[in-house]
Chain A
Amino acid sequence: MTRTNARRKLCEELAASLATGQGLRQLRLSQILEQGQLEGIKAPERSQEPQPISIWRPEKKEGNLVFVRPEPGPFGDHYATRRVIQAIPGSGSKRICFFGESVAAGYLYAPHLTPAAVLEHQLNSGQTAAPFEVVDLARTNETLSSLVETVAASLQLDPQMLVLFVGNNWNLLETPQASAYAPSLKARQNYALHLREKGWEGPLEAAMKACSKKALDALDHIAQLAGSIPVVVIVPEVNLVDWTSRQPAPWLPGIGNALWYELYQQAVGFLEKEEWDRAEQAGMDMLSLDDGICPTSFSIIGEARKGSGREALAEQAFRAEVDSAAYASNCFLDAPRANTMVRRTLHFASGMHGFHTVDLKGVFGVLPDREWFVDYCHLTAKGIEKAMALTAREILDQFEVDGPAVFPDYPLAPEAEALAMFGAAIHGAHRLLAIGSKRALIRYWCERALETSPAIAAVMVQFVQARCAPCPAVMTGAQQFINQSSYALNLQHGWKYDYLDVEVIAAVEESLTNKGFAEADEVSVLLVEQLGFNRSWKELAPYYLWEPLEQAFPEIMVLNDLPSRAFYRFPWPVTGFCLIGRDALELEITLRLVHENSGQTAFSVNGKFLAMVETNAKWQTHRLVVPAYMMNQILNEITLHWPMPGIDGETGMERFTERLEMGWDADPHPIFGEIATLKARHLQ
């Protein structure tokens, strides 16, 4: 046998071995033992040559070094709009560089109002000589590593102070390797190893540890870079009242998942009936099942305590909810919010490096809400004014400058404020996983927008038209209209949302009606004309899913490193689709259960029972008729109620862990059902 042939034979034998489940598993187990290191943040490299500062590139203009950013695209971008920054501050001016994430960038208000602009306005309100200049280097989607790079580069601007407003993004952006959906073999295997060692606490603890290390590294680098330049750290606060984390429970022992969802159902009922004690008890029972891993239980407890007026206890529950959202961040869709670990890390590092802190906790009351926040962590104009006022006081103290007793308001056009409010409605509809209905919150923002600037009504109707179009909104005439109006939606307003925005559309219609706008009728007409049914079959999944992001995550997301599927999987026991129109409909659905389950799947329309079908782990096709008498005028919800998982939690957990060990993607929670197709057409 030649050497080449011998090698080939060896490879053929190895491939044959890997083709057996046992062979591949042996290989994977041996790979688990190769441990990786915790990822840190690298110190930036220094250069004598002018370097870009974020997206501002160095240029010479009339012999002076300046930094120039590219023109923003037609929908804006993630950065401040200031085009040119002089390398040398104006004579006598005090330059402050301002860094941070979307909260610091004025999400939904930018470019009309940003924290940096408000801060500069406030700092200069009490004096005329030696003005303050705040250079806004905050950006949406900021990460720790790019923060360090930006701080390092900003030193070319000769700042006299650095202000950091960071921490909300860390739970989401800094620990992707600690996710059950992490793309790499190694990350999945590490996740499994932590699970085997400590149960659910294992990977979450590892995520926290990794995040904390990166943050401490980053703040350490910033301290070294700053040297004698004072640093102010704004410790973020979050919306505790209006933002909840309704996450599916992870695999729970025995029949824990079935019990948990039963309790959840009861709790929602108790909350609706304002039976606070019973709701809290149900939440506590859920907590005893999930051991505090899943934030949903804390949300319910917090809601119940708030309802019964026990604010301090409600705050405890809501903060525990934010902390427990590490599970959510690792396994499901969640919102960026600064948790206790983030707050502690910021305080710890500040103490160690002598940073000055402005802690926003308590500034907005015991239970911060929509008065101060447009969503989970982004501030309202009022919230920005207040947060920056505290920061301005701290800065003025450091510079030993007296400020006015009260800072004047930053001028904000009603159109810009209304746009931010409408943006809050859109953003909330897309991202909020509410306990119960979220319509009231979305409607609140729509109505506030209409009150603030009534002319936004026309844009709301155009928004609905763009959403109903059979093409990306950007391609529509409606979007053209919006772009040319005073309410131009931009990057921040869910511009790439691919599904029927039913919650926003419903809230828009209700708000227009409530506020007496004639445009309300146009919404109904548009819906029926554009999205109603006829005699041809129309596929409902995923476009007509009532809550795509919460009911079909991650299947519904476009994540290029996760392979997509040809069907939809549902990690929540209830799945809703929107049906438009008032006529009788015929539906055809191909569905199945998973985890070798069998049982009855119930269908309801607008809360009323429609039918029950036998389902099991084989694909089955069923046809259903929705009679006209069950339909509302325009918007209808058809709901599938899946049976509970057919396997015990230990088995589910073991399968989940084994798949991760093999390097395969795996679900940390039960999947209740799968739909291959769901089609509807007029019965007549």
Chain B
Amino acid sequence: MAHLILGGIFQSLTSIHCGGHTNWVTLARLKRGGVFEMNIIGISAFYHDAACCLLKNGKLVAAASEERFTRVKYDPRLPVNAFRYCLEKGGLTVADIDAVAYYENPVPKLARQLWSGLNHSVGDLPQMDPGRPQAAIMERLGYDGPIHFFDHHQSHGASAFFYSGFQESALLVVDGVGEWASTSYGFGQGSELELFHQVEFPHSLGLLYGTITAFLGFRVNDGEYKVMGLAPYGKPVYGEKIRQLAITEPGGDYRLDMKYFDFLTGPRMYSEALCDLLGHPPRKEDGPLESFHFDLACSVQFVLEEILLEKAHWLYSEKQTAHLCMAGGVALNCVANGRILREGPFKKLFVQPAAGDAGGCLGAAALAHIKLNGERHSKEAMGHVFLGPSWKAPEMDRLVKATGLPFQDFSNRESLLLETVVDGLAENKVVGWFHGAMEFGPRALGARSILANPLDPHIRDVLNAAVKKRESFRPFAPSVLASHARDHFDLDHASPFMLEICQVTSEQKLPGITHVNGSARPQTVDPTRSPRYAALIETFYQRTGCPMLVNTSFNVRGEPIVCSPIDALFCFAQAELDLLVLEDYLLDRKDLPPNWSQLLNAWRSPPGNSSRARSAISENLYTFV
């Protein structure tokens, strides 16, 4: 890392003024000790799951999705709150930012939008403004320095390779679509990243999967996880038919047969021809799930895996290297990832934990760092994702006391806290666990988690129905002590980000975390990265002989994962959690006032429900006319 020493030249000044006096003392801005600081903000926004990160002197010090602050799931708006958080975490003001990196290129993106829009909706044209991201960054964030734009897939690729710790790696980026590219093949070496081949819109594996997701009655860009979870219940009997939708071609190419898709010409993803091909009508949202749906989910999952495996082999043939980095929304398909690693030609795989669009901000920031410094920001692998806000003990103390709720204070008595929580877990109680800095990316990894006993045969149904309020088929993942992982799973390496599926090999019965096909998606927990969380699992192990816990994200259906302890209290009231741990404080559901949940629900009007067009002032303030 290059450190530039500046001899008294500063970008802005801080002055000290004392009441009534005029003596000014000029201080160095935040260039402490004469060491130059390079602060790069990465931003992804305006499509899906906006996010912001801060690279401070090449160190990733903060990253968060906007949805966590606004409580609007997948909030695509400019990440104003995440930006403010990043500055606060970095001890910076907007004046201290040296560069902003944006995760895609608005002009080619608009060209692609026009290309697809011109087929059916000229009405969208008025809103299309390729200057919008730049204007928003300047006018809404108050930033007036240089903005660097990078292609969407470049950003995804960089978010994987430059955070992988690999010095050399093949790259595979797969998502719905960026500007034009939907699948990109590349190669990274040192500080260089090259995308050498791409498949372009409308041909897209992400859109293929999204189309079947929609056909199965789930929301695109949201329900893909559900399709993956549904797949093991079925058989790939429609594999051949799905193959008619997505036709592989030589090399890295494939194409979609557009007669089965309506997303270019109409308001829905699939066409009537797909209904005819499959011989079934599309499932309505919340309609019954039958064997056809299981089989269809299984088939699309199977075809996706097959195509990805085939393309991974081709990629390897082009760039013979031991490592593979993956990013893009499809890279969150951990079943496919597992197969690529097990059956593919690469020896090591790194998947960006925030592989979706949120993670694009990381890649953009890394690319800007190279552009400005000539070298990559880090040669180390991304060690953790605990990059979000955290709450200090005095703040938590004030909050807990202000609620007036009974609580137990375990400050400076961590082992007693863990014993007490394990008492509850062993009694099959469900625990909301809020500790440390929030995770970046879609997975809860022990900072904002709901925890339960994996040995409890009923826990999956309880969690799905009463706590998460979601479909009964959805599986749950375990957090297992890294040192015990091999004893229970077919896993020969660490999986700290919960991004791979493997078989459960345990001699213990683990109904809470074992999917219908005997698989699981474990997170290996290392005490050096997550000391308290590891200690909790260790305590549970000492008590039960089982070195793992059920770990699911701390939220209910339709809501983002909790960010603040206030969100956690709301979720505690909504979901049927038995215990809530807020750092050193333990709250018990039985102590809640009988109408507390009702009061809180009444307070929280649905997000996104206010509009100046309908009423001059939002009900988030209060009603008055």
Seen from chain A, the residues whose Cβ lies within 8 Å of a Cβ on chain B are 7-8, 11-12, 14-16, 18-19, 21, 24, 27, 31, 73-75, 78, 101-102, 107, 140-141, 168-169, 172-173, 176-177, 179, 181-186, 329, 333, 336, 427, 430-431, 465, 469-472, 474-481, 483, 491-497, 530, 539, 557-567, 588, 590, 592, 603, 605, 608-611, 613, 618-627, 629-630, 663-664, 674, 676-677
Contact = CB atoms under 8 A, between A and B. Distances in A.
Contacts of B106: 19
Interface stretch (B126-134, B181-189, B308-316): B126-134
25 contacts: A11-B111, A14-B114, A15-B108, A16-B111, A73-B602, A173-B615, A173-B616, A176-B616, A333-B617, A472-B603, A476-B402, A558-B618, A558-B620, A559-B610, A559-B612, A559-B618, A561-B612, A561-B613, A592-B142, A603-B17, A619-B95, A623-B14, A625-B18, A627-B19, A677-B93
Contacts of B486: none
Nearest to B125: A27
Contact of B110 (A15, A333, A475, A592): A15
A566 B127 contact: no
A368 B332 CA distance: 66
Contacts of A539: 88
Contact of A471 (B114, B139, B566): B566
Contacts of A497: 621-622
Contacts of B94: 566-567, 590, 619, 676
Contacts of B110: 15, 18-19
Given A19-B107, A475-B566, A623 B17 contact: yes
A377 to B, nearest CB: 8
Given A173-B615, A333-B617, A677-B93, A566 B402 contact: no
B624 A75 contact: no
Nearest to B77: A563
A626 B21 CA distance: 11
B615 A625 contact: no
Contacts of A677: 87, 93
A495 B598 contact: no
A627 B17 CA distance: 11
Given A169-B625, A185-B126, A622-B17, A560 B610 contact: yes
Interface centre among B108, B118, B127, B616 (most CB of A within 10 A): B616
A555 to B, nearest CB: 10
A496 B621 contact: yes
B295 to A, nearest CB: 34
Given A11-B111, A476-B404, A21 B131 contact: yes
Interface string B594-625: 01001110110001111111111111111111
Contacts of B610: 558-560
B78 to A, nearest CB: 6
A351 B617 CA distance: 33
A590 B398 contact: no
B47 interface: no
B93 A471 contact: no
Contacts, number: 259
A278 B621 CA distance: 38
Nearest to A336: B625
B618 A557 contact: yes
Contacts of B598: 73-74
A183 B613 contact: yes
B614 A176 contact: yes
A471 B604 CA distance: 13
Given A169-B625, A621-B93, A613 B17 contact: yes
B16 A496 contact: no
B47 to A, nearest CB: 15
B415 interface: no
Interface centre among B77, B93, B608 (most CB of A within 10 A): B93
Contact of B16 (A182, A431, A624): A624
B624 A102 contact: yes
Contacts of A588: 14
A140 B622 CA distance: 11
A172 B118 CA distance: 38
Given A8-B115, A19-B107, A566-B83, A74 B599 contact: yes
Contacts of B286: none
B20 A7 contact: no
A292 to B, nearest CB: 22
A465 B88 CA distance: 27
A78 B619 CA distance: 12
Contacts of A622: 14-17
A663 B17 contact: no
A565 B78 CA distance: 9
A620 B106 CA distance: 31
Given A168-B625, A172-B625, A627 B402 contact: no
Contacts of B144: 618-619
Contacts of A179: 612
Contacts of A7: 115, 118
Given A8-B115, A470-B398, A494 B108 contact: no
A49 B13 CA distance: 73
A496 B111 contact: no
A563 B613 contact: no
Contacts of A479: 599
A564 B78 CA distance: 8
A91 B445 CA distance: 68
A567 B94 CA distance: 9
Interface string B1-32: 00000000000111111111000000101000
B359 to A, nearest CB: 21
B142 A566 contact: yes
B593 interface: yes
A201 B106 CA distance: 38
Interface centre among A172, A181, A619, A626 (most CB of B within 10 A): A619
Contact of B19 (A186, A471, A626): A626
Given A11-B115, A182-B613, A618 B95 contact: yes
B569 interface: yes
A493 B612 CA distance: 21
Contacts of A15: 107-108, 110-111, 114, 130
A609 B22 CA distance: 11
A567 B614 CA distance: 26
Given A469-B402, A676-B94, 5 more contacts: A140-B623, A140-B625, A476-B403, A559-B617, A624-B17
Nearest to A28: B126
Contact of B599 (A474, A559, A623, A663): A474
Contacts of A185: 126-127
A598 to B, nearest CB: 14
Contacts of B609: 560
A173 B616 CA distance: 6
Closest CB pairs A-B (n = 4): A477-B404, A611-B17, A619-B95, A469-B402
A11 B112 contact: yes
Interface string B386-419: 0000000001001100111100000000000000
A566 B131 contact: no
Nearest to B15: A622
Nearest to B25: A623
Nearest to B115: A11
Contacts of B29: 621
A475 B80 contact: no
A539 B127 CA distance: 36
B136 interface: yes
Interface centre among B12, B115, B141, B593 (most CB of A within 10 A): B115
Contacts of A562: 612
Nearest to B30: A621
Contacts of A560: 607-611, 618
A557 B621 contact: yes
Contacts of A557: 617-618, 621
A288 to B, nearest CB: 30
A113 to B, nearest CB: 18
Contact of A11 (B114, B127, B595): B114
A14 B617 contact: no
B10 to A, nearest CB: 11
